[in-house]
Copies of this chain bind each other. A is one copy, B any other.
Amino acid sequence: MRPSRRDELVRKAFHVFYRHGFHATGMDTLVRETGISKTTMYNYFSTKDELILAVLRLRDEEFRNRFTRRMQQLANTPAGQMLALFDVLDEWFHEEGFCGCLFIKAGAEFQDHSDPIHVQAAEHKRVLQEQFTAMAREAGARDPRDLASKLMVLKEGAIVLAVLGNKDEAIRNAKGAAQLLIETATGQQVEAA
């Protein structure tokens, strides 16, 4: 049981689900796009939902790792790193193939709150918010959870409007609002990169 083949499936399935949606993508489409036979898929995952869950888990880990690492690269101070979230978002928005947040899509397509896929999507947001809360605490915010939650609101809003509106306007306004919030919450000036 090589893990590489399974990872390859999950990674390619992510791209198809991300671009075309979960319900709109059939297993036969995945066979065609990935070149992996259906038998092999169902050896690794007994249902389509389990494959989707595996895709969400992989994306969750990679997405959070990438964002936190890049935020730390772009600024020195904790407060600056929080603001840099919106520069990382900016980079992401302008990548080729960007079409929104996989977890927002998952939450939208699997609305039932008891559905494991919905739960997994919600979990991603919860963990991310906890990471932001830790950063806000480091930055000396009066109410770290409060600041982190407000930045989360700005982040999700920016993503939605990047898809349905103007990327640059969305990120500019989200970042502007974030700067005001961070400065108000920490009492320190933060320079926009």
Contact = CB atoms under 8 A, between A and B. Distances in A.
Given A111-B100, A160-B104, A150 B165 contact: no
A161 B23 contact: no
A19 interface: yes
A125 B165 contact: yes
Contacts of A129: 165
A168 B153 CA distance: 12
Contacts of A126: 165
A173 interface: yes
Interface residues of A, number: 45
A166 to B, nearest CB: 9
Contact of A157 (B103, B118, B152, B181): B152
A187 B19 CA distance: 44
A159 B125 CA distance: 13
